[in-house]
Each structure stands twice: as C-alpha cells, then as structure tokens.
Structure 1
Amino acid sequence: MAAALTSTTTSRRQFLALLGISAAAVSCGTATASGAQIKTLKYQGAVGAVTLPELAADLGYLGDVKLEWVGNTISGPQDIQSAATGQIHFGGAFNGAVVKLASSKAPITSVISYYGTDKDTYSGYYVLEDSPIRTARDLIGKKVGMNTLGAHSQAMLEIYLSRNGVSKADAAKVEALVVPPVNTEQALRQKQIEVAVLGGVLRDKALATGGIRPLFSDFELLGAFSAGSYVMTKRFIKQNPDTVRTFVTAVAKAIEWSRTTPREQVIARMTDIVTKRGRTEDTSTLKYWHSYGVAETGGRISDKEFQLWLDWLGERGEIKEGQLKAADLYTNEFNDHGKG
C-alpha cells in the first residue's frame, strides 16, 4: 500500500505534464471524410458504476447514437486529455481541470455538467475518531489522501485552508497524496495518511464501518454546485452537430430521470445495467447511490461553474489572469432538454 502513495511534488508534476499538451499535438475530431456524422461514441467508464451516458443509452434516449466502451478510468484529467487527443469522443472532469486543459490551447468545449455536490452527494474529508486533528491549522504537516492532484479534492482542501486563515506557506506543508479510491479508507485506518477524502459509496461504506469522523466537506464549503462537465473537441462538435445534440440532450434527460425517479428504482436500473454488461463487477456498492449531484436543471452550464476555478488557478499562478473567459469554455447550444 505504501507504494501506492505518491508525493505531492511528483504527482503534481505528472498531472501538469498530462495537461500540458500543445495545440499542435491535439487531434480535433474524427468525423469521416464523406461528411457523414459519427453515430458511435467512444468513451471510458468507471468500475462498478453507471455513467450518465450509459444510463441515457439504457433508457433509450440516445436513439441512433451508440456508445463504445474502450476501458475504465479514475482520473478526470486523463479522461478529458483522451478526448482532446481523439482517443475517445467525450470525456469528463472537474471543471478546474477543464480550465487547465483549455489554457494549454486544447480546442475543447464543455457541453453539459455531469456531476456535482449536494446534501446527499459530496466529498468529505475524514479523520480517525481519536485523531487530534480538529481545525485547519492541525493539518499542517499532515498527509491527505485523494484520488488525483490538481483537481476537485485538492481545490477543496486549499479553499478550506485559505478560508480558515492558513497562510500559503503553511498550506504548502499540508501534503496531498494520490491514493486509489478503493484503498483510501484502508490507508486512513492503517495510519498511512491522516485525512482521507471519501465520496459516494466509498464514503457511506466507511461511515457504516465506523471509527471515523468528518473534518469538513465540499458541500459545507460551497453548497450545492455542479463540479464537472463533459467535453468534446470543437472540431468534432462542428462536424457532428446532430450527434452532439442527441448526446447532450440524452444526458440531460437522464439527469432529470435520475432526479425524479424513486431512488430504489434508479438503483435497480443501475444494477441491471452493470450486470448486463458482463464485466464481473461488484454491484453491492450501488445501494449507496444517492444522486449525480448536478445542480442545474438538465445539466445546463453557467459562468459560475468555471469562474471559481479560473480564479483559483489564477491565484495559484497556473493560468494567466484574464487568459480565459468563463463564457468561452462551454456551450448550452446542444442541450434541447426543456426547450419547447
């Protein structure tokens, strides 16, 4: 397990290298030479989970558009880089990672929100029950385990420290470590880390076991908000507008279906989807599902979803002030949910 823990410096460098692709290296889409629009979208999924596009497909919302699963990922930055370089047709990540990738001149556009934070769906920062950590200053010199660096979890940590008066110099002494999500609870209980970022089913399972308590959560910091979006390349959108419209609107419908359908029915549907795809995945954790956490109706995006991260990355010196405008990073043009 110790080998799975990566230092802040090394992992952050790898993360920045991942996003630091040049515009020249970016493949801008994969429309056919004949001009026919692509109807099969390649994507990456998540083990034991059902993504919104997968749910939309099962509900029949995608019509003649099909999905082609090419593998799984736990990294949003990796997913959107794969979309930017044409390995897949869409990818999803924390909006701060989208801003970072766009700042490297990758020609991508966010088309719909797909996850967020609400009272039931959030990431908590947990310590052991008998931990001496009670305040933000108690984190100085401590290790915080999270799924990836330079993304949602690290942003929330830095915002928490800043709001509680911890200087940048002292905040730099809080060591963020990459720990695979399925191992985070174990790493906390074995005291390899002092704080574990836990969300969704992994959080609920850990709480059911007991012996841990929350320090803070992203919901407590920022309230309900959409945190991540699906991106496509600008060229793909231009060459496949009907496919993009079908995809975005279908995901929007799936968001609202999951929001208005009794939770037990949603979980049953998800369990059936995972079982049918035959990848020998564990479906027991699906019973802990509460929501996708998308704040806006139909996953529509607004400036505020990006401005927070433009400001955060600007303060960190990772993008130039005024380099990007929130309104230039997304479009709702293809989201027909609720129109007419």
Structure 2
Amino acid sequence: MRIQSLRRMTSGALSKARRLGLAGIATIGLVGTAMAEPPLEKTEIRYQGWAGQVTFVELADDLGYLAPLKLKWVGNTISGPQDIQTVVTGDIDIGGAFYGAIIKLIAAKAPIKAVVGYYGSDDNTYNGYYVKEDSPIKTARDLIGKKVAVNTLGAHLEFVLREYLARNGLTPAEAKQVTLVAIPPVTGEQALRQGQVEVTTLSGILRDKALDRGGIRRLFADTDLFGNFTGGSYVLRDKFIKDNPNTSRKLIEGVSRAIAWAQITPPEEVRARFERIITGRKRNEDATPIKYWKSTGVATKGGVIGDAELQVWIDWLVKDGLLKPDQLKPSDLYTNEFNYFRQGKTAEAK
C-alpha cells in the first residue's frame, strides 16, 4: 500500500510539474511577444545623399541597424539648409543641417524637430578659414572690405565667421563690410589662389590637398572658437513623428548606433566600409574624399543632443536681432526620445 501511495504521489507531482512547465513556457511566450518590436507605421524612408560621401542614414542601413526599414534615395543635396527645407516640404523624411539653420526655420514656424546630432568639429575634423601665405590679412579687422568664400549662406561657415568677427571687436556695421561669396567647396581653393576672394573655407580632403600644395595659411578655425562641438543634427517633421512613432524610433535609434559605431571603430575600417558603400550604390561619383575621412566630429556618444550646443546659437541669433529674447529655448527644438543612447536607456550599441 505504501508503494502504491508513493506512486500516486509521484504521478501527481509529475503531473503538477508538467502543468507548471507548460505554464512557464506560455509565460515566456507572452514575454517574448511583449518584447518583440512593435509594427512600423512606415517602412520606406526617403532621404537625400551627398556626392562622394556616406551619410549616417546610409551607414546605419549598411550595418543592418534599420531593418526592416528600407531607404529610398531621391537625389543629392547641395547644402544643409536645402536638405532640411526639403524635409519641411515633405519631399523627404529626414535631413540634416547646422543648428543655426534649424533654429531659424523653427522660429519661422517650420514644424520640425532636431533628433540626433550628426556632424561637428574636433582636432581631426574641422572647418578652417585660409588666406594666401603672403596675404596682409592677419586679424579679424583686416577682413573689413574683403571677400570670404563659404559653401552656402546662412549656414555653419557664415555663423562661425560672424562669431569670429564679433569676438574680435568688430561692430555689426563693420561686420557687414565683410562680403560672403557662395562658392562650391571644390572650387574654394582655386578662388583663393586666383584672387577672386581673399579668404576661403576648407575642410577634409580639400583642406589637406591645399595645404600639401602650399602657399596658404590658416587664419582661424571653428574649433578655435568653440572647441570640440556638435554643429548640426538630423531633423524629422513633427507630423512624421506623431504619425510614425515606431518608425521614428527605429530610424533614429539606428542612425545613433551608426554614429557610435563610427566613433569607436578605427578610421581605416570606417573608410573601407564607406568606400564599399559608395562602390555598391553605383551613382557614378568620386569616392576620393573618403580616403581623407578622420572622425565624425560629433561630440557626444551617438549624437545625443544637449541644451548647451543649441543655446550658443540661440544666444547668437538673439544678439544678431534674428530672434527675440526668450522666443525659443533649447527644449523647444529637439528631442532625444528616439536616440539609442538617450538618458535612462541602458542598451549599448551592438
């Protein structure tokens, strides 16, 4: 009788264990379902590229950080302001520009939000302002009445120049006597050497090649004024974010992870990947500039945005009379809620 009783107890225990086991499996299944990524509202992202360059949107796609999102290249942009204006019009979904240009657009009621910092300046990656070796220009005051080549008006290079003039004591009236000339970066060195302008702006391959040829010298650089800093960000339309919250998170988490990857990966490996991407997309472009890529220039991990990097340009626009005091504050302009490295998120890039 005792043996039969033990058998009945064992059988009951096993049956209970099986039930508990099945319940555990079911619970794991429910947790797994809960942890699965929510469905994306939009699966195609339209964007503009840069000839001879790889954007972080493209890098994120190549690294597999965007899947199942698909990219649709609609052409190349010519400047940051043009890129984000195309976002405003709804012709593309994501674009990037200098913070000053973003702030001015938002002040003009453009419904966009900065979502991840994507470029900047550091010891390896910066914008320099150059003159001929024998130029009499030695100080900011020497620029009065002179012409300075920039890639586009109303963007990074103009703001940095005007800050340089202001910090060196030029009045607004004197600063207006410094003429800005919009010249494609590839012809900036030639314009300087031929005397079409007295100062030109150079960075990356264009700067390095010009310095190799000699006969020019640096007047100043953006890092002389601001140190290492993130200079601009990608933006999304407010309506895009509202209508596509899951897609927005997938897109910007992927882009921020790609930025972080480029920040910690040896430059030669980044360059090799960029070259492979350019070759694979078959756009009939010159990939030579990639050989001179040195760093992202982005000052924070994964392009997390902070108040300070926007406040400096808000203050500048107020000082210049383009914004009213207290018209905008940094929190009006950006969100980190989609950044993979946002505060409070413990995930690390894989």
Which residue number in structure 1 is paired with residue 4 of structure 2? none
Which residue number in structure 2 is paired with residue 262 of structure 1? 266
The letter for the 1-side match of 2:217 is R
Matching of residue 129 in structure 1 with residue 133 in structure 2:
yes
* Contact 2:95/2:236 (8 A) holds in 1: yes
* TM value normalised by structure 1: 0.88
* Contact 2:46/2:71 (8 A) holds in 1: yes
Which residue number in structure 2 is paired with residue 315 of structure 1? 319
* Contact 2:53/2:290 (8 A) holds in 1: yes
Could you tell me how far apart the structure 1 residues matched to 2:96 and 2:207 are? 21
Deviations 1:278-314 (A, max 9, x none): 1111112211111121101110001112111111111
Matching of residue 157 in structure 1 with residue 145 in structure 2:
no
Query: 1:170-209 alignment to 2 at 5 Å?
Result: 170-209=174-213
The letter for the 2-side match of 1:202 is L
Could you tell me how far apart the structure 1 residues matched to 2:85 and 2:100 are? 13
Could you tell me how far apart the structure 1 residues matched to 2:110 and 2:269 are? 40
1:77 to 74, 81, 100: 81
Structure 1 residue 251: deviation in Å?
1.1
Structure 1 residue 208: deviation in Å?
1.9
Could you tell me how far apart the structure 2 residues matched to 1:270 and 1:68 are? 18
Could you tell me how far apart the structure 1 residues matched to 2:51 and 2:144 are? 34
Residue segments in structure 2 that go unaligned for 5+ positions in a row? 1-38
Which residue number in structure 1 is paired with residue 12 of structure 2? none
Matching of residue 325 in structure 1 with residue 329 in structure 2:
yes
Which residue number in structure 2 is paired with residue 306 of structure 1? 310
Matching of residue 169 in structure 1 with residue 200 in structure 2:
no
Query: 1:213-228 alignment to 2 at 5 Å?
Result: 213-228=217-232
Greater shift in the superposed pair: 87-96 or 203-212: 203-212
Which residue number in structure 1 is paired with residue 301 of structure 2? 297
* Contact 2:257/2:340 (8 A) holds in 1: no
Could you tell me how far apart the structure 1 residues matched to 2:223 and 2:165 are? 15
Deviations 1:216-266 (A, max 9, x none): 000111001110001111110011111111111111111111111111111
Could you tell me how far apart the structure 1 residues matched to 2:228 and 2:138 are? 24
Could you tell me how far apart the structure 2 residues matched to 1:44 and 1:68 are? 9
The letter for the 1-side match of 2:190 is Q
- SS of residue paired to 2:298: coil
Residue segments in structure 1 that go unaligned for 5+ positions in a row? 1-34
- SS of residue paired to 1:298: helix
- SS of residue paired to 1:205: helix
Deviations 1:39-75 (A, max 9, x none): 1110111000001111111111111111111011121
Deviations 1:77-121 (A, max 9, x none): 111111011000011000000000001111110100000111111
Query: 1:245-256 alignment to 2 at 5 Å?
Result: 245-256=249-260
Which residue number in structure 1 is paired with residue 341 of structure 2? 337
2:68 to 43, 46, 64: 64
Corresponding residue pairs, total: 306
Which residue number in structure 2 is paired with residue 15 of structure 1? none
- SS of residue paired to 1:37: coil
Structure 1 residue 36: deviation in Å?
6.5
Could you tell me how far apart the structure 1 residues matched to 2:72 and 2:225 are? 37
Which residue number in structure 1 is paired with residue 96 of structure 2? 92
Deviations 1:188-214 (A, max 9, x none): 111100000111222112112221110
Greater shift in the superposed pair: 310-319 or 145-154: 310-319
* Contact 2:137/2:143 (8 A) holds in 1: yes
2:123 to 116, 119, 125: 119
- SS of residue paired to 2:60: helix
- SS of residue paired to 1:131: coil
The letter for the 1-side match of 2:215 is G
| Structure 1 vs Structure 2 CA RMSD | 1.2
Structure 1 residue 324: deviation in Å?
1.1
Structure 1 residue 165: deviation in Å?
1.2
Could you tell me how far apart the structure 2 residues matched to 1:285 and 1:209 are? 17
The letter for the 2-side match of 1:239 is D
The letter for the 2-side match of 1:173 is Q
Which residue number in structure 2 is paired with residue 54 of structure 1? 58
Give the percent of matched residue pairs that are identical in Structure 1 and Structure 2. 57
